Amino acid sequence: MATRELIQQQIEQLATNDYGRLLSLLIKYGNDICLAEDALQFAFAQASEHWSKKAIPRVPGAWLYRVGVNYMLNRFKSNEANHISIEVIDCEVAEPYIEKAFEDYRLGLLFACAHPAIDKNVHTPLMLQLVLGINVEKIARAFAIPTTRLAQKLVRAKKKLSVSKFPFEIPEPDTFPSRVNAVLAAIYGCYAIDWLRFNAVETNEDMAEEALFLATLLVKLMPEHAESFGLAALLSISHARSKSRFAIDGSFVPFEEQHTNHWNKSLLRQGEYLIHQAFLLKQPGRYQLEAAIQSAHCHRLITGQKNWEQIQNLYTGLITIAPSLGAHVSLSLVMLKSQGASVALNYLDNIEHPHKFHFQPALLAYAQIYAMLDSCEQASAFYQQALDLTTDVIQRAHIAKKLRESQR
């Protein structure tokens, strides 16, 4: 029999990897978000109590799902108005726990969260928490929103979805244009939140692969939508080099220092194919350009060819379509390679943004540019500012190393 500590670790892993999947099935059956959340919370509590007395089930997710459904059945039986829902669930309970059932349910729930009746600013955070199982603290940090305020917005949105009884299924094609951008943003956010962790232990491979899976599923659903291809391409190329981002000792390995023989060539080819398919549709968009930029960087490192002019043109196109502080900062670093430190510094100085000097990548860009100009004092100052803004232990170690190098 497993120890209580091992059982708790198993439960925590299930909560991290399968929460969104399980919740989407429970919502599908009961058509009630709040009830489904209560049911899943009850199931995890029961697991903590019962698995230590008996044993961890052969298929833990199936056990949690069944317990959650039983909880919902008990709640429904106390309300005769929901008699029809009971019959529907009883029929489904007779079926075995099928992994592939998650696919359409979860994609449908993503679209339901983008319903026009829900505040647009909440669409993506709602999807990240409700469907993809990311906790509110991480979402709030990614969106630079106070956790309490975001939690309140999410509660209101979920209540509206439950009360209004919106169908949790893939909507008719004519509603896609008004909702798909939020769905794309949520899938991208799911991957990015995991990608931005600089800790090999905390990085959740399942979450990243889940985001890639949903992106490719969306391509099948919307084969005429170029940005769906673009996002799937971006995630494919990014994920291709995920295993080379950390050294054996857990330290972070910057892109320029990664070993290309550790990259997943199959995923790189998949990304290239998806970019090609996207460009054939002639609908330029942010994700396509970001995918093309990633592809160009990978090609540069694999072949040794200096394609900085191509990358600079791609960034210029990206900023035209989707301007952001991050894109501007990245372009300054490309200019550093293609046109020199003085041009890069001038570009970075002329970026007007209220949060530029509180944006860690901008501070690191300044440090790198000043280091190239042999202005060690300025470089050290910016590395120190970036270090002060960084909480991740692994990333702090990487920046501290750069700081020490700039002081030599």
pLDDT tens per residue across span 2-14: 577 788 888 888 8
Same domain (yes/no): 12, 88: yes
Same domain (yes/no): 111, 182: yes
> Helix or strand or coil: residue 101?
helix
Which domain covers residue 113, as residue numbers?
102-163+173-222
On average, the pLDDT of the chain sits at: 85
- For the residues 358-370, what does the mean pLDDT come to? 96
Residue 89 lies in a domain: yes
Same domain (yes/no): 85, 126: no
Same domain (yes/no): 35, 13: yes
- For the residues 135-155, what does the mean pLDDT come to? 86
Same domain (yes/no): 120, 212: yes
- For the residues 64-82, what does the mean pLDDT come to? 78
Share of the chain above pLDDT 70, in %: 88
Same domain (yes/no): 75, 39: yes
Residue 278 lies in a domain: no
- Give the pLDDT score at 96: 40
- Give the pLDDT score at 22: 86
- For the residues 311-334, what does the mean pLDDT come to? 96
- Confidence class for position 162, pLDDT limits 50, 70, 90: confident
Residue 274 lies in a domain: no
Same domain (yes/no): 52, 128: no
DSSP state of 200: T
Residue 120 lies in a domain: yes
Two tokens at 83? Answer: 């008699």
CB-based contacts of 157, cutoff 8 Å, min separation 6: 113, 118, 119, 122, 126
User: How many Cα atoms sit within 13 Å of 328 on the Cβ side?
Assistant: 18
Same domain (yes/no): 121, 64: no
Residue 302 lies in a domain: no
Same domain (yes/no): 55, 115: no
Same domain (yes/no): 85, 131: no
Q: Which of 66, 81, 97 is the last residue of a domain?
A: 97
173-193 core/surface letters (b: 16 or more CB in 10 A; e: else): eeebeebbbbbbbbbbbbbeb
Q: What is the tally of structural domains in the chain?
A: 3
Asked whether residue 265 carries a pLDDT value surpassing 70, the answer given is yes
- For the residues 135-139, what does the mean pLDDT come to? 85
Two tokens at 353? Answer: 């943004």
Q: Which of 97, 118, 144 is the last residue of a domain?
A: 97
- For the residues 314-330, what does the mean pLDDT come to? 96
- Confidence class for position 205, pLDDT limits 50, 70, 90: low
- Confidence class for position 274, pLDDT limits 50, 70, 90: very high
Same domain (yes/no): 145, 80: no
Residue 216 lies in a domain: yes
Residue 188 lies in a domain: yes
| Alpha helices, H only, 31-170 | 33-50, 60-77, 83-93, 102-113, 120-130, 136-143, 147-164
Same domain (yes/no): 89, 195: no
- Confidence class for position 219, pLDDT limits 50, 70, 90: very high
Share of the chain above pLDDT 90, in %: 46
Q: Which of 46, 77, 97 is the last residue of a domain?
A: 97
Residue 314 lies in a domain: no
